[in-house]
């Protein structure tokens, strides 16, 4: 399983390019981030090229898909993010779908589907995949609409476009639905990326109730060819935490 470092989790007060260099020194070849607007895109691309590290994913600028009134803003933000992605060589964008508006869930579900369909031509133009993200509503994201990975798979299948997928965060889904291995391996056609952290606490993957060695081995056997992003709050020095993650989980 390819490991990917979510830079904001480990290098909060470090220049982004310097963080890429530190990750490369540790033996990682993939990173991800959230708000690309904070980056010097030219400098980041130069650093990626120099180190051989790939920027696997970053976020869209807008997260409101549950409300049709914000659809045009989401689509425009998607285009801006695709332009930045092309400059950085990024092939995947993460988008959250927004808060529960209080409308019927059927209406919000339909709004998400239609918003993603509206963005599909842009994704095709730039060769980028957008990934909707189910999040837990018990601990970290109260009021968020899309808590179920199973509903996320339904949305992706309704959109029925090769550039619209799910990012499956094992931490969030351990909290909300469990059934981790079957939900991943039976829906690989819908999943473009994984995230991991230990629950409870959202710390290192080995410090939680999920056995990530078992999970990742099962996902590998099922034919998953993507990566898992390390997206947790380290309990020790970040460099030591990343070094230990490679020792435990790198193939």
Catalytic residues: 133, 231
Return the axis-axis angle of helices 41-51 and 16-25, rounded to nearest 10°: 10
Are 3 and 231 in contact by the 8 Å Cβ rule? The answer is no
Residue 112 CB partners (closer than 8 Å, separation 6+): 65, 66, 97, 132, 145, 146, 155
Residue-wise DSSP of the chain: -EEEEEHHHH-TTS-HHHHHHHHHHTT--EEE-S-GGGS-HHHHHHHHHHHT-EEEEEE-S----SSGGGHHHHHHHHHHHHHHHHHHT--EEEE---B--SS-HHHHHHHHHHHHHHHHHHHHHHT-EEEE----TTTT-TTBS---HHHHHHHHHHHT-TTEEEEEEHHHHHHHT--HHHHHHTTGGGEEEEEE-BTTTTB-TTSSSS-HHHHHHHHHHTT--SEEEE----SS-HHHHHHHHHHHH--
């Amino acid at each position: 399983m390819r490991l990917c470092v979510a830079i904001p989790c480990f290098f909060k007060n470090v220049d982004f390019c310097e963080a890429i260099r530190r990750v490369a020194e540790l033996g990682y070849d993939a990173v991800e981030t959230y708000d690309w607007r904070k980056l010097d895109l030219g400098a980041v691309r130069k650093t990626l090229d120099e180190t051989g590290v790939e920027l696997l994913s970053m976020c869209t600028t807008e997260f409101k898909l549950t409300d049709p009134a914000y659809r045009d803003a989401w689509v425009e933000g998607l285009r801006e993010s695709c332009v930045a992605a092309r400059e950085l060589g990024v092939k995947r964008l993460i988008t959250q779908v927004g808060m529960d508006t209080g409308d019927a869930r059927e209406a919000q579900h339909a709004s998400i589907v239609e918003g993603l369909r509206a963005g599909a031509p842009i994704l095709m133009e730039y060769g980028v995949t957008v990934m909707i993200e189910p999040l837990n509503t018990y601990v970290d994201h109260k009021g968020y609409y899309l808590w179920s990975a199973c509903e996320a798979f339904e949305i992706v299948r309704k959109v029925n476009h090769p550039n619209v997928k799910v990012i499956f965060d094992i931490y969030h889904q351990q909290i909300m639905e469990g059934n981790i291995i079957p939900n991943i391996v039976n829906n690989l056609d819908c999943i473009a990326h994984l995230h991991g952290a230990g629950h409870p606490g959202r710390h290192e993957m080995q410090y939680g109730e999920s056995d990530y060695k078992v999970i990742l081995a099962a996902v590998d056997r099922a034919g998953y060819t993507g990566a898992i992003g390390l997206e947790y709050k380290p309990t020790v020095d970040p460099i030591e935490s990343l070094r230990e993650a490679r020792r435990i989980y790198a193939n």
